[in-house]
Each structure stands twice: as structure tokens, then as C-alpha cells.
Amino acid sequence: MRKRGLQLLSLEQTMTITAIKMCRWIAMFAVCILVSGWLAAQTDATKNTSGTKPSAQTAADPNAGGTAALAHNDTYVIGIDDVLAINVWKEPDVSRTVPVRSDGKISLPLAGEVQASGETPLQLEKLLATKLQSFISEPEVTVIVSEVKSQKFNILGMVSKPGSYPLTNSATVLDAIALAGGFRDFAKQKSIYILRQNPDGGQSRLPFNYKDVIKGKNSAQNIKLQPRDTIVVP
């Protein structure tokens, strides 16, 4: 009886050890499956990312948050001193950020010297794509104005800091006076005027009475500035 009991105990221990080993193998097998699935998912995600064409906005905008025109813009006219972010898809050696020189041109590898001033971003995209066709199969070009420096206004006369200033989208005459540091002593605040270039080449003279405007009178005189406007403070 004692011998038989020992045999049963040994059999029970053997079965217990075997069960523990089986549990360990099952657990290891499950972990392997989970790890394999995770690695496969990561590989697929990487393939999708590398094979997806970047959006025009993110591809050519190295300085997010700056003053930038939208890609494929067909309204803004590029000017001298503007900074352009040019992206040629899948061609990092050609893509770069370039300023518009004083002669209105930019320089880009393979494309060479290209007239940029006077063109819209969309027009320049097409022009660059045409020039790159001899070197790149079906080039896709994105042009973004990353820094607007060509649009300026002038303020002259009896202000603290006369000069030329970059023009923002919503700048008014009051904004310009503030940027120039306000008036100097003896400024004729009721006799300010704005000189504006007309499309026909002529010039208009627009009055601005500072005293009235800050009192809420003749508020229409606080006009939105346009490129090349000159504010004169006698």
C-alpha cells in the first residue's frame, strides 16, 4: 500500500510539472503571436507613410507658424525680397527655401535662373515644373510664400520712427502710426494724408484727420493700407 501510494504521488507530481510546462509554452506562444502582429502593423504603417504623397502645405513649409501664403495660391503676386519655400516631390536635393533677389529672380538646382517676381505661386509652380521636365520625370512642384517681405508701406514726416514697414493683411492708418512710434511734437494731426498708387499709374491723395478718427468721427478715413501706400504726417 505504501509503495502504491508513493507511485500515485509521483504520478501526480509528474502531471503537475507537465501541466506547468504546458502553461508556460502556451503563454510563450501567445506572446510570440502578439509581438508578430505588432511588428506587422508597424511595418504596414511605415510603408503607408513612405508611400503617401505629402500635402502641399506641410511639404514646403519649413517654418510653421510664419506668415505664409497657401500652396497653389493664384491671387498673391510674388515680389522682390519675398522668401519662397519650394518643394519638388521626392527630390530633396532640388527642394529648398530661396529669397527673391533684387532682379526678381530665384536660383534653383537644375532649373537655373527663374523669374519669380510678378508671378503667383501657382504660375511659378507650373514654370518650374516645365523647366525641370528635362531632368525629372513628371516633376510635382509646390511653391509657398513663407515670408512676405515685398509688400510694404511708407510713413514719413513728424513721427518718431519714419520709414518703410512690412504690410500685414489688416493694417490700417492707425496701425501704421502706432508702428512708427506715434507723433513728434508739433505734428499736424488733422492734416495727415495717404498717397496711393492708382492702376493707371497716377496717384490719389486720401485725407486722414487723426483727431476725428480717435473720437469716432469719420472712421471711414482709417482705411486698410495697400502695398506702396505712403502716409505723410506734416
Domain that holds residue 171: 152-233
Write the pLDDT tens digit of every residue in 202-211. Answer: 899 999 999 9
Provide the mean pLDDT of the chain. Answer: 80
Q: Burial letters for 83-106: b for 16+ Cβ neighbours within 10 Å, e otherwise?
A: bbbbbbbebeebbbbbebeeebeb
CATH number at residue 218: 3.10.560.10
In a shared domain, residues 136 and 167? no
Cell of 186: 508739433
Residue 31 has pLDDT above 70, yes or no: no
Write the pLDDT tens digit of every residue in 174-184. Answer: 999 999 999 99
Which one of 102, 127, 147 terminates a domain?
Answer: 147
CA distance 143 to 61: 9
In a shared domain, residues 109 and 166? no
Residue 216 has pLDDT above 60, yes or no: yes
Write the pLDDT tens digit of every residue in 77-121. Answer: 899 899 999 999 999 999 999 999 999 999 999 999 999 999 999
Report if pTM > 0.85: no
Which one of 102, 123, 147 terminates a domain?
Answer: 147
Q: Model confidence at 24, in pLDDT bands (50, 70, 90)? A: low
pLDDT of residue 34: 54
- Amino acid found at 110: L
CA distance 167 to 163: 12
Residue 139 has pLDDT above 90, yes or no: yes
The domain tally of the chain equals 3
For every residue of 22-91, DSSP letters joined together read HHHHHHHHHHHHHHHHHHHHHHHHHHHHHHSPPPHHHHT-SSTTS--PPTT-SSPPP-TT-EEEEEETT-
CATH number at residue 81: 3.30.1950.10
Taking residues 173-200, what's their average pLDDT?
A: 95
Percent of the chain with pLDDT over 70: 69
In a shared domain, residues 60 and 46? no
In a shared domain, residues 134 and 91? yes
